[in-house]
Structure 1
Amino acid sequence: MGIPVTRRGGIIVSMLIALSSCTSLPRSGPDHTEIDRAAAIKVTTPNRKVGIDYVLIDLNKGILPYFDKIPTSSLRTGFGGGRGGAPDIPLGFGDVVQVSIFEAQSGGLFIPSDAGSRPGNYITLPQQTIDKAGTISIPYAGRVPAAGRMKEQVEQEIEDRLASRAIEPQVILTTNSSRSSEVAVVGDVNDPQKIVLSPAGDRILDAISQAGGLTTPNIETNVTLQRRGKTATVAYETLLKNPSENIYLAPGDTVSVEHERRTFIALGASGTNNRIDFEDSNLTLGEAMAKAGGLVDTRADPREVVVYRKVDRGILQRLNIDTGRFKDDQVPVIFRANLRDPATLFAVQEFRMMDKDVLYISNSDSVELVKFLDIVNSVTSTVRGVSNDALDTRDAIRDLGD
């Protein structure tokens, strides 16, 4: 004889309560009730709400134009130097130079009268380094300022200072070592080093090439330029595709090449729950879903495919969204796609994923119902098994008594 329906319902409820409070069941660690009970201090909110405001945007053709391009920064805007000729490179502290002085005829200040057999009426002074004061020393001309000046300017000043003592002096200044015009190339290149800028001018890609090129994929590489306390970063792909961004370098610049691993997180009812690499492409939402193994047919709700992202306030304002309640420039946004609509499959191929996006696919409501029914079925089976075991035990005791 079976257990009456009303009594069986009471047993099921009792078993559920007992199971929920049972501490003897296997666990990998403390459960949430134990953690909550044992806390010395609790910092919480009503209903344990996180309290972060966000904007919910349904994916549609109207918003796609605002999110179909990868945002880029600009070196040309920040530093200039993308067009025109190479910048002039002045002399600087630490440069090693050599000065040659010519006179129109012998018998002057530097050329003796009996120098007719010389190959030319000139002398070459020993090499010298532009000192900390920025000067070089020239006999009978004194200390001549050199740092920060073009070599033609220094030559002219030396000539002017010697004009009253030498015979029509002409000066040639040669740079033997230009330490002040070095540029450092560091980071993910094959041969990090300091590079001396040539008078013809060197652009960023020239310097990276001299440093042996990249050690990382082009599309996952950023290039940062540091100049006189100012910094700007641009994608390596931008330098390749936009020549105006490949600007001329200046003395003292630092070029830092950095690999940036671009990833998104896939959660929920997708084939894979993991952090997934973009690899060598700029992913769309459709491609991201494919990388995550697609939607699991037995679990996923195709109407609730969402992407979590922080979006620049200016973009939302261009969409006429009131951002007054948000304090930061980056506003939390959830983008929602309804894949029940056939047209959405076109939209997800235009919507660009960004680095550190979170892709979440919700469970269908029916899945939650099935989970509940599975628990009920499991408890019912357990109750039935306990009743049968009790009957078997009673019969065994009777057999022993007989």
Structure 2
Amino acid sequence: MALGTGWRCSGLIAVALGLSACNTLPRSGPDDKAIRENATLYFAAPKSEKPLLDYMLIDLTPDAISYFEQKPRQTLAAGFGASRRGPPSLPLGIGDIVEVSIFESAQGGLFVPADAGSRPGNFVTLPRQTIDTDGTLSVPYAGRVRASGRTPTAVQAEIEQRLADRAIEPQVVINLIESRSSQVSVLGDVNAPAKFEVTPGGDRILDVISRAGGISASGAETYISLQRNNTSATVLFDTLLERPSENIYVYPGDTIFANRERRTYLAFGASGLNGRIDFEESNLTLAEAVGKAGGLLDAAADPGQIFLYRLVDPEILARMGAPVTAKAGKGFPVIFRANLRDPSTYFLAQRFAMEDKDILYVSNADSVELLKVLNIISSTTQTVSGSTADVVLTRDATRAIRD
């Protein structure tokens, strides 16, 4: 290239760069310089060659991936120890509505008069009553009888004993009309949240969720929390289906909460699809996440530079021998790098599990960045230098790519 031609090219490039900052050119809004200069206060990042946040880079290798296998699933059976227990016994409790019937062996007794006539049986049924807040119910001539926390059989026996000297061979039957003390609550992402009575035969977690109309979201994204007294444990809904031992019996007073946690990851760079992508109903691996993001753009991506950003538990990194500590209680920043130019890395990517809120970044190939610069130079010099300059630029670009 002649000196005059080179000077003209450099001058035109300078003019083009100057015009790009001119306020007269089309723009969708203020540029970064105007925003900085007009800011009342500006909290600037410190000028340093180092990144703003320390992070760790881990290449995807068989040794590294062994520390990041699938996380162990949470368990209800271990949390409550109830997997080996049968259904709960259901004693009477405060608020229960009961009906008391008293039988006598002959007419003329305390409750069945002699002139009962065609009465169908020698018994009387007392009006329904609610077990009081003090846990008792009232029976004529027997007084206040403690019922809360006792089985109907035990309460029947005590009433019979109290009436033995007054009634003729009394027999007592207690019928539970409505159990308000043996209820469980089902809340959250179910179709019909409500309180349900625990049946005498026993109900498991899936039973009461079914009575609540089932969950309203994907089982792979819905977590089931069981609260009992001062203890709480959470398990994925799909785990209840896959592991019957986790489907434990519910007990009176339990609260079951279904909560959908939408799992997503972000995809950026030279992939076919950028943006927030849902896991949907499956657990994704890195290979599946790349495919779900549209794969790698053949004309732009560098298969050797696939990056995954994640906050990792410092304990895991410490086991790998890294001297790291937690960052603000949220884990340590880690970037995983996968070299998909190596055919064997695809097998590792198929084992590496994605986590909620991961960031997938596919880097551009070096040649793409070079071509961007050449396109700018070429568009500036095309009308001045002519074909001679284009030939020289093409020759230099070819050498750069080859080197």
Q: CA deviation at 1:120?
A: 5.0
User: What residue in structure 2 maps to residue 141 of structure 1?
Assistant: 142
Instruction: Kindly indicate whether residue 19 of structure 2 is the aligned counterpart of residue 26 of structure 1.
Output: no
Q: Secondary structure at the match of 1:368?
A: helix
1: CA distance, partners of 2:251 / 2:98: 20
Deviations 1:212-237 (A, max 9, x none): 33443332332233334644332111
Change (3 A) 1:132 1:321: same
Counterpart residue type for residue 185 of structure 2: A
Query: Which shows bigger deviation, 309-318 or 359-368?
Result: 309-318
In structure 2, the gaps of 5 or more residues are 387-403
User: What residue in structure 1 maps to residue 84 of structure 2?
Assistant: 83
2: CA distance, partners of 1:293 / 1:376: 32
Q: CA deviation at 1:101?
A: 3.0
Contact 1:106 1:116 in 2 (8 A): no
Q: CA deviation at 1:108?
A: 5.0
Deviations 1:39-96 (A, max 9, x none): 1111232148773333322111113233332442222233332223101123223211
Q: CA deviation at 1:364?
A: 2.0
Give the TM-score, by structure 1 length.
0.84
User: What residue in structure 2 maps to residue 394 of structure 1?
Assistant: none
User: What residue in structure 2 maps to residue 192 of structure 1?
Assistant: 193
How do residues 230-269 of structure 1 correspond to structure 2 at under 5 angstroms? Answer: 230-269=231-270
Deviations 1:329-378 (A, max 9, x none): 53332211111222101101111112221111111222222222222222
The count of corresponding residues between Structure 1 and Structure 2 is: 384
Counterpart residue type for residue 140 of structure 2: P
Contact 1:97 1:173 in 2 (8 A): yes
Change (3 A) 1:384 1:144: farther
How do residues 291-302 of structure 1 correspond to structure 2 at under 5 angstroms? Answer: 291-302=292-303
Q: CA deviation at 1:10?
A: 4.0
Q: Percent identical across equivalent pairs?
A: 54
Change (3 A) 1:292 1:120: same
User: What residue in structure 2 maps to residue 182 of structure 1?
Assistant: 183
Counterpart residue type for residue 200 of structure 1: G
User: What residue in structure 1 maps to residue 341 of structure 2?
Assistant: 340
Contact 1:272 1:292 in 2 (8 A): yes
2: CA distance, partners of 1:170 / 1:320: 76
Deviations 1:280-330 (A, max 9, x none): 322111111111111112221222211112233443344343333645253
Change (3 A) 1:119 1:383: same
How do residues 72-111 of structure 1 correspond to structure 2 at under 5 angstroms? Answer: 72-103=73-104, 109-111=110-112
Query: Which shows bigger deviation, 287-296 or 72-81?
Result: 72-81
Q: Secondary structure at the match of 1:34?
A: helix
Instruction: Kindly indicate whether residue 332 of structure 2 is the aligned counterpart of residue 352 of structure 1.
Output: no
Q: CA RMSD in A?
A: 2.9
Q: Secondary structure at the match of 2:360?
A: strand
Instruction: Kindly indicate whether residue 41 of structure 2 is the aligned counterpart of residue 37 of structure 1.
Output: no
Change (3 A) 1:142 1:314: farther
2: CA distance, partners of 1:146 / 1:322: 63
Contact 2:314 2:325 in 1 (8 A): no
Change (3 A) 1:135 1:319: farther
Counterpart residue type for residue 82 of structure 1: S
Query: Which shows bigger deviation, 244-253 or 144-153?
Result: 144-153
Change (3 A) 1:96 1:242: same
User: What residue in structure 2 maps to residue 324 of structure 1?
Assistant: 325
Change (3 A) 1:19 1:159: farther
Contact 1:59 1:336 in 2 (8 A): yes
User: What residue in structure 2 maps to residue 158 of structure 1?
Assistant: 159
